[in-house]
């Protein structure tokens, strides 16, 4: 039998580590580690890692979908900042 995968830790590019941490803290993630060029955040056992990147094209072309239980979607919608209110650093 093939062993099952138990988790994955995506790594994303960030143009500004501080702003990235602040954004995800508003989504109820907690900071696990923060350095000038790298950050780790976590929520409900899901970790996301971010590395500092100077090339704006790279963060725009990466992504990941994180599934959540249906019953939590309504509460998350009410606490999630509107994407239109968030500006990216150029």
Residue 39: left (phi > 0), alpha (psi -120 to 50), or beta? beta
CATH number at residue 81: 3.10.180.10
Contacts of 21 (CB under 8 A, 6+ apart): 31, 34, 39, 41, 50
Q: Which domain holds residue 76?
A: 11-85
pLDDT, tens digit (0-9, with 9 covering 90-100), for 2-17: 888 888 899 999 999 9
| Per-residue confidence band for 77, with pLDDT thresholds at 50, 70 and 90 | low
Nearest Cα neighbor of 37 from 24, 53, 19 is 53
pTM: 0.69
Q: What DSSP string runs through 41-55?
A: EEETTEEEEEEE-S-
**Domain membership flag for residue 16:** yes
Longest CA pairwise span in the chain (Å): 48
Higher-scoring residue by pLDDT: 74, 21: 21
**Domain membership flag for residue 6:** no
């Amino acid at each position: 039998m093939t062993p099952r995968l138990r988790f994955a830790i995506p790594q994303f590019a960030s143009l500004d580590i501080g702003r990235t941490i602040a954004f995800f803290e508003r989504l109820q993630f907690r900071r696990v580690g923060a350095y000038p060029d790298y950050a780790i955040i976590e929520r409900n056992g899901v970790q996301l890692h971010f590395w500092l990147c100077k090339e704006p094209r790279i963060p725009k072309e990466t992504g990941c979908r994180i599934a959540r239980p249906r019953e939590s979607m309504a509460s998350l919608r009410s606490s999630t900042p509107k994407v239109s209110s968030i500006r990216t650093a150029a």
